[in-house]
Structure 1
Amino acid sequence: MADMSFLSGGGEMGALMRAHDWSRHPLGMPGSWPQTLRTSLRLMLNSRHQMCVLWGSEAFWFYNDAYRQTLTAERHPSSLGKPGRQVWAEIWGDIGAQIAQVMRGGSATWHENQHLVMQRDGRDEDTYWTYSYSPIDDESVASGVGGVLVVCTETTEQVLVSRRAMEERQRLAELFEQTPSFMAMLRGPEHVFELANPSYLQLVGGRPLLGRTVADALPEAASQGFVGLLDLVYASGQPYVASATPFAMQPAPGVPARQRYLDFVYQPIRDDAGKVTGIFVEGTDVTERALAEKALRASETRLRAINSDLEQQVVQRMQGRARTWQLSTDIMGVLNAEGIFELSNPAWQRVLGWPEQIIASTPFFNFVHPDDLERTRLAYARGIELGEPALSFENRYRHAAGGYRWLSWVAIPEDGKIYCSARDITADKEAAESLARTEAALRQAQKMEAVGQLTGGLAHDFNNLLGGIMGALEVARMKLEQGKVEDVPRLLSLGEAAVNRAASLTQRLLAFSRRQTLDPRSTDINRLVAGMEELIRRTIGPSVQLEVIEADALWPCRVDPPQLENALLNLCINARDAMPDGGQLTIETANRALDDAAAAAAFDLQPGRYVSLSVADTGSGMSPDVIARAFDPFFTTKPIGQGTGLGLSMIYGFARQSGGQVRIHSEPGKGSVFTIYLPRHHEAPQETPATPPARIPQATRQRGTILVVEDESSIRELVCELLREAGFHTLHAADGSAGLRILQSAVAIDLLVTDVGLPGLMNGRQMADAARTARPDLKVLFVTGYAAQSVVGDGHLEPGMHLLTKPFSLDVLRQKIDDILAA
């Protein structure tokens, strides 16, 4: 303990130093530390000033309780005894050279209000410090200095307060200089000019004022009694206010005086004790106004001389206005604060059938249509209370004979009343409604035309696919009846291929309608493109040169990878078809930041950050009319039988459903560029290894019980057969109500496999949610052939719930069930 005596006391930091394990520290145990270091630490620990010590070539850091108050969790207590460069990494560039100068044998340094950007609570913070660096002697080193004693004070708050005060003084000075009124500050009973702004100097002809008395600098002011007024204000302490006071100012000796008129105030200035120490002068040159008023008064005499002629003209004009009031086809009136038209013209009766006595005795709200009453009350209140005019305000007024008429009002508030005029626009409204009905009928006709086109295309493609399936099954049955079983596998393969084409067509339709069930996840598009590059090269053939340009540090996206792969492959096939004689195909990725203008005008997107995937070709290009229809379903420029016309519509629907967009840039003969924009996602992509589907195994021992709920009997029978072959006991139901009765029974069920779109009052998701109230750990596999995003397709499935999209092979279903039960 004797060796540790210099660390005695020191509060929290003294205790922390004594408890610290110094055995592995480069300085060794405290008993072996140099005497000067021990003395400095004892002085530091027992001081109430903020102090720290940096010792040795590594500048090992020590600090006391007062300094500890400035530290956050980043540095206390972990930084004790660590090298200064490590502790203060963010400011070492500022203080390291200062410390090194003292350590080399230099003299002590002083730094006042030094700006340092420190990290506190995980973020940068501007701080200010006043500190000194003093050398600590050590004869054992060449420079004679073993360390640095730091005495410091954080002055951040003082600096910021000082800056705000300086900025406020600067702002007041600017206001003083820039104000259009003249201002001056006079000091003492002699009225010495201390300040005068440019407007004051301009008023007195630019004469030197500062440091001179008013009587000396402006002798004409003294002769006209202004100095006497200043004496009175200084003695009494009462302000003096003057209006349009004449002041004959002489700009320079020998120059005739100019008569000016001034509005001004003399305001006494008091010290903290309340004693008057000066006078603040502020005013405005109102010469032009005063002269105008004099001219106005002079003209009043002349006006009275011709008053009789003017009265006659006024009478004539009033008679003209009266005729306008009487004959106008527009409603006119004066509305008072009680909501009654105290004046109304004859048009009220011509347009609405109400006589003047009814209008003058009935609040106008009684005539307003109930649906328009609330906003009419609001407009009236704004006019009466706020003086806010109403221009082109429309509402409906009741007609004396029944029904309502549309009126368009102009209402101007003045002196607590509202002066109104209104035009009957009933005919205009009826014409507009007729036009709207016509446009709605046209849109419906266009919609039905599009539906007809879509239905015709679907019927054509599905008839072909069904023909292939039916033909394959019929020939297979015939071969089986003939005993030629060796041909059956080939015929089943033909039927299976037709089924797969039908499934692909369904997925394209769902993608176009943005109703496919997506399985989005964080995806690295560069990695996705690289994984498809070999497939794309084989697809486009040797006559097309492929170039892939990947953006560095490409942002991830949340997207369904197989759907994006399908879209990319479709674009590459279209590009290949546009270059029958070969050419260049370029796939490029990029990060794109869209501001408000670009996102709204060019892309029809929300502003933000996006990843773009572009496919560019050097082919035949597209005309503007083809570009306009490129995303329409079943639109294709290819010959009949060479394209369904769903590829681009599928890509468009997939991109929009993923929160993105597709854009085309093309010119005939100059190639085309198709670009998919997808929103940036902040979650890092994860690799998901593909698991190849296994074949249906032979029946094994009992593996558990699965409930299958499916309204399509053929699918329900096949799924149950598959599960029984796989060793499961199966239960089944055709709708949600029947399935829920089984789930609410006591029978043990290991997995629920259910379609989402079930008939009746309960869909598959509702049935599963209801079942989980009694079976909270129930595992569920939803199957769906369309978008049920409000139920299962929005990425918010609960734990233990899974999704499989129709159509699917029985191998895939079996593998999915095995994975769920294994998990």
Structure 2
Amino acid sequence: MTERTSACPFLADGGEMGALMRAYPWTGTALGEPSTWPQSLRSMISVCLNSPMLGAVLWGPELRMLYNDAYIPLMRDRHPAALGQPVADIWGEEWLRVAKPLLEVMSGGKGFERRSVAVPMVRDGLEQLTHWDFTTAPIRGEDGAIIGLFNQGVDITERVLGAEAARESEAQLRQALAAGDGVGTWAWDVVEDRVRADARFAHLYGVPVELARSGGPIANFFRRIHPDDLPRVRAAVAEALRTGDVFSEEYRLVDERGTVRWVLARGQCERAADGTPLRFPGASFDITERKRLEDALNALNADLEQRVEARTQELSKAEDALRQSQKMEAVGQLTGGLAHDFNNLIQGITGSLQIARRRIEAGRLEDVDRFMDGALRSADRASALTHRLLAFARRQPLDPRPVDANGLIASLADIFRRTVGEGIDLAIAPAADLWKARCDPHLLESALLNLVINARDAMPDGGSLRIESANARLEGSAATTNAGVLSGDYVCISVADTGCGMSEETKSRAFEPFFTTKQMGHGTGLGLSMIYGFAGQSEGNVTIASELGRGTTISLYLPRDDGVSQPEIASPPVEAPSAAGRGETILVIEDEEIVRDLIVLMLRDLGYEVVEAADGVTGIAILKSSRPIDLLVTDIGLPGQDGWVVADVARAERPDLKILFMTGYAEKAELAESVLGSGMAMVTKPISIEALADRIREMIPIS
């Protein structure tokens, strides 16, 4: 037998009347043993409990209640205590509203159908007033006496609410029509050109009511239309006559006092079978108040837009001020770090030179070399610091070319091992079939050495260091560390250590200039920022993966070479050829006297003949002369005629002349790379004697 949940589950099968008595002892005193109940009562109880409709049985002199599952929501918190209790005790005052017809059935024996009752009910957790049509029938015993009632209900709540809504809408419509001249109807006999309208229409359009009722030409009603709207209305009427489409226009009416009212006119032309316009009925609605509200709303929106715009401008100014504040904070941090480092370096240079000068003046030459070497070391460190700053700012001049990263790493392996020492296990894992990278090989060496030094410092008690290469592809969100990184193929070089690792805060600031976790004097804080700038300027990427206590992996991504560039570089030449000159003539153009004197002395010490000029005009005059010149060395930032103009003249006068540009401006150095032609090169200041000699020898090799 299929189980069924019921308000009285012991009657689910309609047969266990004994269970009812055991569960509710009151049944015995009310009607005696269930086994003695009349068959009519037993049958009606079974029908009630198995009905999907709301149903209840009231039996005995006190009309005790028994009801089905559909009745439970009506009982709210009265269920299940209400089972077997007198209906008057359960419903109280609510019973009094419906008691009379039910008691009449009990006394007279005549049932009724569709008696409407409003009853509060809980639905979806909320109490609401529901409406029901009840059918009530008497239950008779064996002797024909009435022993109870059977009630069955149909929910008519939606029907009642719908009727109420319809009545309310009808009342609102009648109220609107009775309000005066808000709506007026009209009918235009197109053939006779007679418009007949009601009094409301006449009042709205400013014509006598008698004329409107008797009929007059449509021109009588057009005369009140605002002149700016009249052409549009006439055109819309003509179109409706031609097509039979609905006419619907909003326009203004102006009375004799100049008062303006807005109307909405709607109608449709009735036409003969051949399309001839016959009759044009319609209605006009006064929409002045609606238009007033629309205008007020538009004005409010305009005012709101102005306020939003003003507020937006205020926020924009605040954002600009915030960005300026952040910029100044960054500049302060940058200049503070620069001042600290450069002051130390300048102190090393000036202090060493001052002591050397005093020793020379005193004739004590035995320690002069030591102090001169100290000045040179400080100057070299200052130059390196400048290059690191340029790398961070992506302003350093690059010499990108195909690079065999595996070969370059292998050539640096001994340096790496000496750098990390014996307490750190170094492993190099080159990838097979590694693509060629495109970058500046010298800056890549510097970047890798910086990473190895950082890894060493993160493992003071020893550990493992692994340098690994791999082919990689950056896609979508993976290419996010450097702005402007494109998806594509890259050569990845990873340096992984087992050191102390970084916190999330440290990782977020790792690429900031002068940010360092090392002790004062043990790091400039420019190593990682230089690598960041180098990667970005090389159109590559750099990422950090680190966890406190578990080590750090820094991965440098360099773009894959397209295979059509210069010959690849695996490592720098082991030995450079002799840089000494053999009497070649070099024209030097430099406006800074002390710099020019130093360069001239350097070149003469190297064995070159030197012709010097303090500006571009003088240099051009020399170039236009017949004096033999093997190489032009010119500063870019010259007063008057700058280095580019000088170079143009040199190429016009001496097409085969080699030109070496010098500059101390990072922006011009970067620009030079993109415009250098054949036979041209560029160096940045400061430059050592050895580096200048090497570059000159490359341009005018020994014949």
2:368 is matched with: 488
CA spacing shift, 1:426–1:720, aligned 2, 3 Å: same
Structure 1 position 769, deviation (Å): 2.5
Structure 1 position 585, deviation (Å): 0.9
CA contact (8 A) 2:482 2:542 kept: no
* Structure 1 position 808 matched with structure 2 position 691: no
Amino acid at match of 1:807: P
* Structure 1 position 655 matched with structure 2 position 535: yes
Amino acid at match of 2:648: D
RMSD of the alignment, in Å? 3.8
Distance, in Å, in 2 between the alignment partners of 1:514 and 1:626 is 22
**Which of 769, 779, 799 is the aligned partner of 2:678?**
799
1:32 is matched with: none
5 Å-filtered alignment, 1:332-411, equals: none
Structure 1 position 819, deviation (Å): 2.6
Structure 1 position 343, deviation (Å): 5.4
CA contact (8 A) 1:591 1:610 kept: yes
1:514 is matched with: 394
1:822 is matched with: 701
Q: Which has the larger radius of gyration?
A: 2
5 Å-filtered alignment, 1:76-91, equals: none
Structure 1 position 798, deviation (Å): 0.9
Runs of 5+ consecutive residues of structure 1 not aligned to the other structure:
1-302, 321-332, 346-354, 360-406, 411-419
2:659 is matched with: 780
CA spacing shift, 1:319–1:543, aligned 2, 3 Å: farther
Structure 1 position 598, deviation (Å): 3.3
Structure 1 position 731, deviation (Å): 1.9
1:754 is matched with: 634
CA spacing shift, 1:337–1:529, aligned 2, 3 Å: farther
Distance, in Å, in 2 between the alignment partners of 1:344 and 1:459 is 76
5 Å-filtered alignment, 1:564-583, equals: 564-583=444-463
Amino acid at match of 1:822: P
Tell which deviates more after alignment, 746-755 or 659-668. 746-755
Distance, in Å, in 2 between the alignment partners of 1:512 and 1:563 is 12
1:197 is matched with: none
* Structure 1 position 591 matched with structure 2 position 463: no
2:573 is matched with: 690
CA spacing shift, 1:425–1:549, aligned 2, 3 Å: same
2:46 is matched with: none
**Which of 726, 736, 740 is the aligned partner of 2:620?**
740
Distance, in Å, in 1 between the alignment partners of 2:426 and 2:182 is 88
Number of equivalent positions: 435
Which secondary structure state, in structure 1, belongs to the residue aligned with residue 349 of structure 2?
helix
5 Å-filtered alignment, 1:7-86, equals: none
Distance, in Å, in 2 between the alignment partners of 1:704 and 1:356 is 101
CA spacing shift, 1:488–1:694, aligned 2, 3 Å: farther
Q: Deviations 1:638-662 (Å, cap 9, x if unpaired)?
A: 1111111111111111111111121
2:237 is matched with: none
2:351 is matched with: 471
2:642 is matched with: 763
Distance, in Å, in 1 between the alignment partners of 2:229 and 2:406 is 73
CA contact (8 A) 1:583 1:617 kept: yes
CA contact (8 A) 1:590 1:613 kept: yes
Q: Deviations 1:174-225 (Å, cap 9, x if unpaired)?
A: xxxxxxxxxxxxxxxxxxxxxxxxxxxxxxxxxxxxxxxxxxxxxxxxxxxx
Distance, in Å, in 1 between the alignment partners of 2:561 and 2:411 is 21
1:712 is matched with: 592
Distance, in Å, in 2 between the alignment partners of 1:529 and 1:763 is 41
Distance, in Å, in 2 between the alignment partners of 1:455 and 1:336 is 73
CA spacing shift, 1:476–1:435, aligned 2, 3 Å: same
CA spacing shift, 1:491–1:601, aligned 2, 3 Å: closer
Which secondary structure state, in structure 1, belongs to the residue aligned with residue 468 of structure 2?
strand
CA contact (8 A) 2:590 2:638 kept: no
CA spacing shift, 1:600–1:582, aligned 2, 3 Å: closer
Distance, in Å, in 1 between the alignment partners of 2:320 and 2:634 is 41
CA contact (8 A) 1:765 1:791 kept: no
Distance, in Å, in 1 between the alignment partners of 2:697 and 2:180 is 98
CA contact (8 A) 2:353 2:371 kept: yes
Which secondary structure state, in structure 2, belongs to the residue aligned with residue 486 of structure 1?
coil
CA contact (8 A) 1:694 1:811 kept: no
CA contact (8 A) 1:539 1:573 kept: yes
**Which of 638, 641, 655 is the aligned partner of 2:518?**
638
Which secondary structure state, in structure 2, belongs to the residue aligned with residue 621 of structure 1?
coil
Which secondary structure state, in structure 2, belongs to the residue aligned with residue 722 of structure 1?
helix
CA contact (8 A) 2:579 2:694 kept: no
5 Å-filtered alignment, 1:58-207, equals: none
Distance, in Å, in 1 between the alignment partners of 2:229 and 2:303 is 15
1:441 is matched with: 321
Distance, in Å, in 2 between the alignment partners of 1:719 and 1:451 is 34
CA spacing shift, 1:637–1:745, aligned 2, 3 Å: same
1:557 is matched with: 437
CA contact (8 A) 1:613 1:675 kept: yes
5 Å-filtered alignment, 1:721-740, equals: 721-740=601-620
CA contact (8 A) 2:459 2:500 kept: yes
Q: Deviations 1:498-555 (Å, cap 9, x if unpaired)?
A: 1111111111111111111111111011111111111011101111111111111111
Q: Deviations 1:622-678 (Å, cap 9, x if unpaired)?
A: 111111111111111111111111111111111111111211111111111111111
Q: Deviations 1:741-761 (Å, cap 9, x if unpaired)?
A: 3323443322110122x1435
Amino acid at match of 1:658: S
Distance, in Å, in 2 between the alignment partners of 1:343 and 1:422 is 23
Structure 1 position 577, deviation (Å): 0.8
Structure 1 position 818, deviation (Å): 2.5
CA contact (8 A) 2:513 2:525 kept: yes
Distance, in Å, in 2 between the alignment partners of 1:778 and 1:548 is 46
5 Å-filtered alignment, 1:211-610, equals: 424-599=304-479, 605-610=485-490
Structure 1 position 790, deviation (Å): 7.1
Q: Deviations 1:467-486 (Å, cap 9, x if unpaired)?
A: 11122212222222333323
Distance, in Å, in 2 between the alignment partners of 1:315 and 1:746 is 111
Distance, in Å, in 1 between the alignment partners of 2:650 and 2:346 is 38
Structure 1 position 722, deviation (Å): 2.6
Q: Deviations 1:431-468 (Å, cap 9, x if unpaired)?
A: 11001101101111111111111111111111111111
CA contact (8 A) 2:395 2:670 kept: no
Amino acid at match of 1:808: I
Structure 1 position 781, deviation (Å): 0.8
Distance, in Å, in 1 between the alignment partners of 2:180 and 2:492 is 72
CA contact (8 A) 1:693 1:812 kept: no
Distance, in Å, in 1 between the alignment partners of 2:181 and 2:464 is 84
**TM-score normalised to structure 1 length:** 0.48
CA spacing shift, 1:714–1:550, aligned 2, 3 Å: same
Distance, in Å, in 2 between the alignment partners of 1:623 and 1:749 is 60
Which secondary structure state, in structure 1, belongs to the residue aligned with residue 517 of structure 2?
coil
Structure 1 position 778, deviation (Å): 1.9
Which secondary structure state, in structure 2, belongs to the residue aligned with residue 485 of structure 1?
coil
Q: Deviations 1:212-245 (Å, cap 9, x if unpaired)?
A: xxxxxxxxxxxxxxxxxxxxxxxxxxxxxxxxxx
Structure 1 position 694, deviation (Å): 6.8
Distance, in Å, in 2 between the alignment partners of 1:801 and 1:753 is 10
**TM-score normalised to structure 2 length:** 0.56
Amino acid at match of 1:721: L
Amino acid at match of 2:693: R
Distance, in Å, in 1 between the alignment partners of 2:495 and 2:504 is 19
